[in-house]
Structure 1
């Protein structure tokens, strides 16, 4: 860890002060000392030169995970892409969630042309007999979906009512382990998560009958643990690929009783980590959009302020503000975005993605 203003993961007291139970869970799991936590093999770090033992491993953990006993489990993998096609800036989301306890495994897909504002989404559930995710490797099969490969290279083929995609994602650089170890507390439950934040993306996308060659970048995220999408909880998630090569993942989790944990994991280009508190996004959220379908209310502008890292970023949804995926009458915002501001005191700008799960309460 490089900076006195950052957070050293070896310092349990400091992390606990920052993230509450998030920190203690991550450190206990990293050292295999928490008897209440699910047993996991501690591996060497999956991030070059970080010096932090990880409890996740992209080489094996892209396979389906085994649920804890008596837990309502969610096993999730998704990627967000920004690709170019004939001069158009297109945002893509492909997200599948395995729910061993039911009520059916999920597929969420969206495509957004930020140049024209065109947007379509698709969401469905698969019965267990129609969906499979290997426990040995990344091999997912469902009607219209095939997702295979490993942490270095994977292919995704998908057909939905309004189009299709056939993409190859190739990792560039190391994985990002959330919290440095890949384990943290989310709504009082231990979750595991890592990202492959820079994946070169090539292939074809067909939208409304037009097949187009695309090239760009994807951020892949892998998460599993107890299902935390319960009524009253809401969260925001954002990713940032910085011009200097750093990758930043931000969580803003607000429980039903109003307790907020907002924090960022920074993976430096040299493989070192920093974990820092972020000012709650609600303090500077604005330009709200209310869905005419679900009635849910979402911000379309945020300020991500990380004082310890001399960082203040304005994040705005680009193109169509109504980038909502709806399943079973409930919506979630999955939106292409842009950011600009200061990072480590330097001026930056770039493209990113913003997720909002749950209704944003009116103030």
Structure 2
């Protein structure tokens, strides 16, 4: 039943995106008596299909070979005047060659970058089904949707942080269910997490403070040859949170859309001009040969939004695993959002063989 409802809403969102409109969906407690703006499709009355209070535990695997259970956060923190980007990501892959653990640190002020990626055998990896409690070699991740602790040790450093939520969760597509390469995925974000703790690099510890964005996702991913995606998160100065998906099939079929969680707790889901249309300043990895853009124009006509997004610091923020790469990069944006000038810091993810 969950999968059927989610598929129907994802189809409705996709149709609205094709028409250039938006899908608005109030959160529980929001005032759904206010009429939607002209040109929108109202999705009130359709319940959320994810629950941050209950869905941080490991999920029951689906039948697909590429089904995965994922949780990660990206951070922009400060330490001694340095702008530092962090990524911590773990993926449970029941039918795959091993679970994943990814960690990267980028000092956008100096360009220093280092990453760690490894596979963890099922016998060394535990993720509770009743809540957020993950244990793997070097990793302990516990807590709930309000507060969580993450401790991570890798050969060249360690991280020990506390993440505390400020504000509501963002459910992708308004309900937390959407279509990715034709298959239903579930995803929500905690887009504003106060982040404090200690980062140790090559034996030197430093205190860090800043903001994190956490994403929780599960479902089949269809990483077939030629399929690739881009993802961006944008915390706007007015308190809105924006998440962008740009999924491209090997045959060129593209689905690009944004979920907006407004500061009043309501949603907008809108079509985005495909990112490849205005991608530039490419960087080619000397290790994998993969080519990534480092500058994009994000255009959302229905929201009167046009932003320039650029990778900051070192363009080579590529995580390597098994000869393949994925870009997990610090970025910055500026432009107009709902017709108002904005600027901020964010993260960009690019997965798959990106040639355009």
Partner of 1:217: 211
Does structure 1 retain, via aligned residues, the 8 Å contact 2:53–2:144?
Answer: yes
Partner of 1:40: none
Query: Does residue 250 of structure 2 align to residue 256 of structure 1?
Result: yes
Q: Structure 1 residue runs of 4+, over 4 Å off?
A: 10-14, 44-52
Does structure 2 retain, via aligned residues, the 8 Å contact 1:251–1:262?
Answer: yes
Query: Does residue 270 of structure 2 align to residue 276 of structure 1?
Result: yes
Among 329, 332, 343, the alignment partner of 1:349 is: 343
Among 155, 168, 171, the alignment partner of 1:161 is: 155
Does structure 2 retain, via aligned residues, the 8 Å contact 1:194–1:222?
Answer: yes
TM-superposed CA distance for 1:132, in Å, is 0.6
Query: Does residue 130 of structure 2 align to residue 132 of structure 1?
Result: no
Partner of 1:175: 169
TM-superposed CA distance for 1:196, in Å, is 0.2
Query: Does residue 178 of structure 2 align to residue 184 of structure 1?
Result: yes
Tell me: CA distance 1:258–1:104, structure 2 relative to 1, closer, same or farther (3 Å).
Answer: same
Query: Does residue 33 of structure 2 align to residue 57 of structure 1?
Result: no
Distance across 1 between alignment mates of 2:204 and 2:71: 27
Partner of 1:199: 193
Q: What does the per-residue CA deviation read over 1:272-311, in whole Å, with 9 as the maximum and x for residues that have no partner?
A: 1000000000011000000000000000000100000000
Q: What does the per-residue CA deviation read over 1:64-95, in whole Å, with 9 as the maximum and x for residues that have no partner?
A: 00012354310000000000001100000000
Distance across 2 between alignment mates of 1:305 and 1:136: 40
TM-superposed CA distance for 1:230, in Å, is 2.3
Partner of 1:80: 74
Tell me: CA distance 1:295–1:137, structure 2 relative to 1, closer, same or farther (3 Å).
Answer: same
Three-state SS of the structure 1 residue aligned to 2:286 is coil
Does structure 1 retain, via aligned residues, the 8 Å contact 2:27–2:265?
Answer: no
Tell me: CA distance 1:316–1:16, structure 2 relative to 1, closer, same or farther (3 Å).
Answer: closer
Does structure 2 retain, via aligned residues, the 8 Å contact 1:234–1:360?
Answer: yes
Distance across 2 between alignment mates of 1:201 and 1:169: 5
TM-score (norm 2): 0.90
TM-superposed CA distance for 1:16, in Å, is 4.2
Distance across 1 between alignment mates of 2:95 and 2:12: 37
Tell me: CA distance 1:12–1:261, structure 2 relative to 1, closer, same or farther (3 Å).
Answer: closer
TM-superposed CA distance for 1:18, in Å, is 3.1
TM-score (norm 1): 0.88
Distance across 2 between alignment mates of 1:104 and 1:193: 22
Distance across 1 between alignment mates of 2:198 and 2:55: 27
Query: Does residue 311 of structure 2 align to residue 313 of structure 1?
Result: no
TM-superposed CA distance for 1:231, in Å, is 1.6
Aligned residues: 334
Distance across 2 between alignment mates of 1:220 and 1:330: 24
Gaps of 5+ in 2: 1-7, 33-43
TM-superposed CA distance for 1:228, in Å, is 2.2
Partner of 2:295: 301
CA RMSD of aligned residues (A): 2.2
